Structure 1
């Protein structure tokens, strides 16, 4: 049946929004309409109708999810930017250590591992200052996860005094600190 331009909205309403249509989308609505009807620019009208349907938009959400822009960080020298993480708990050693601090350099992928008895912020900050900053120098950036020991006032103050910028991973996304997380897997094995 050939449909006049005046009746096109009625057909679209019936086949897309009606009981038999159930907001099926562009492809399936077009197939159902083409079984019985024809008009010039049918495809364009169906696409336009489906895109403007407020109930479809409310249920389906936006067509693309917006994500934060990824930043490429170029490192130009060793110990300019380091990543740190605490691994453990492991079986207690003879000296009473249960955890490891893993420190990795982004430039050379060099890793340093230090055993510590607990993962408190004061212990982590002390070990970092004496075992990393003194022998290797103070980095411009330190990247870590959002652990309480790295987000504490003591650790933030240590970074401020040393003139180091502290960055952190996204919540529940260990992939944003993949280099250290991958090394932790090897260490645990």
Structure 2
């Protein structure tokens, strides 16, 4: 149950001087406790550098509810969020949505995404290359590297799971633009 929990339970029954130290010593010496505890982080978290201006680095990801997909884009500097509702997550549809968004706000220097096929395809690479954009992929199976977009995806999913409906969602903080 962990050293903190063992101390807490022990204090409800009795107390003596050095109780905490003795429980810590016993817990660190227990092979079962050591085998069951959570592993320490392998490497320290490397934070992204703060972009000096808006639209320098944007984080992109997809969320899904039922048959509806949402392309989520977050500006790292301003935390501006754009959400686009779509029924398709093909590379062509992704590029089409991003092309319209970039036409409105300008080209970002660095879009950051996970390794989903629509972000790693040759069509997407060609789109980035033709626009002079340096695309950055986060490590596979490490979604925290794209944490800004993952956080917005989590908020979106929580809100949609509450069944407030897309029409009410559109009136909340974020704007969901339908892209059919």
Q: TM-score range by the shorter chain?
A: 0.5 to 0.7
Match of 2:117 in 1: 148
Match of 2:102 in 1: 133
Long gaps (5+) in structure 2:
1-40, 159-180
Taking structure 2 as the reference length, the TM-score comes to 0.61
Structure 2 Cα separation of the partners of residues 82 and 146 of structure 1: 15
CA distance 1:78–1:66, shift in 2 (3 Å): same
Q: In structure 1, which of residues 145, 160, 184 is the aligned counterpart of residue 129 of structure 2?
A: 160
Q: In structure 1, which of residues 68, 86, 90 is the aligned counterpart of residue 62 of structure 2?
A: 86
Q: In structure 1, which of residues 165, 172, 175 is the aligned counterpart of residue 141 of structure 2?
A: 172
Structure 1 Cα separation of the partners of residues 63 and 96 of structure 2: 17
Report the aligned-residue RMSD.
2.1
Matched ranges for 1:21-170 at <5 A: 70=46, 72-88=48-64, 90-92=65-67, 98-130=68-100, 132-170=101-139
Taking structure 1 as the reference length, the TM-score comes to 0.59
CA distance 1:187–1:124, shift in 2 (3 Å): same
CA distance 1:66–1:180, shift in 2 (3 Å): closer
Deviations 1:8-64 (A, max 9, x none): xxxxxxxxxxxxxxxxxxxxxxxxxxxxxxxxxxxxxxxxxxxxxxxxxxxxxxxxx
CA distance 1:138–1:151, shift in 2 (3 Å): same
Which one scores higher on RCO, CA 8 angstroms, separation ≥ 6? 2
Structure 2 Cα separation of the partners of residues 78 and 108 of structure 1: 6
The total of aligned residue pairs comes to 119
